[in-house]
Amino acid sequence: MKDLKFEYIRGTGPGGQHRNRRNSCVRITHVPTGISVTEDGRDQHRNKKIALKKLKERLKAEKENTRAKIKKAHRDYKIKNSSIIRTYDYSRGIVTDHRTGKTGTIKNIVQKGRIELLC
């Protein structure tokens, strides 16, 4: 909560005297990331709850995107610098992709042409 900046402003659109006199629109900004959410309804308290919920969702999505980017960068680095790509163990019928760390059966991957299982 200490990283959030709350602003209460007048809403836009129709509503007449109520809109012109009340600061019912809520804008919440997460200061470290700069992500902001605005909710414009009739009730300020409800707008604040809705805006907090939306902000949590956006921050969670941003965190997931950051994790995915880091994971992709790590995987790309491993793929680029790998000397051994795949190991085929015919006695057990297993294929291991050393770049991604995934393992599959030779039957599913080679015979059926489903090489995407290792990607």
The overall average pLDDT reported for the chain is 84
Q: How many other C-beta atoms can be found within 10 angstroms of the C-beta atom of residue 13?
A: 7
- pTM score, whole prediction: 0.64
Give whole-number Cα distances, 77 to 42, 70, 100, in Å: 51, 11, 11
Class for the domain spanning 4-80? alpha beta
- Every domain of the chain and the residues it spans: 4-80, 86-118
Compute the average pLDDT of residues 27-54.
Answer: 93
Q: What is the pLDDT of residue 24?
A: 86
Select from 66, 67, 106, 70 the least CA-distant residue to 86.
106
- Return the pLDDT at 96: 82
Q: Is the pLDDT of residue 80 over 80?
A: no
Residue 114 has pLDDT above 90, yes or no: no
Q: How confident is the model at residue 116 (pLDDT cuts 50, 70, 90)?
A: low
> In the predicted model, is pLDDT for residue 64 greater than 80?
yes
Q: Does residue 27 surpass a pLDDT of 90?
A: yes
- Tell me what the mean pLDDT of segment 74-100 comes to: 79
pLDDT (mean) for 77-92: 78
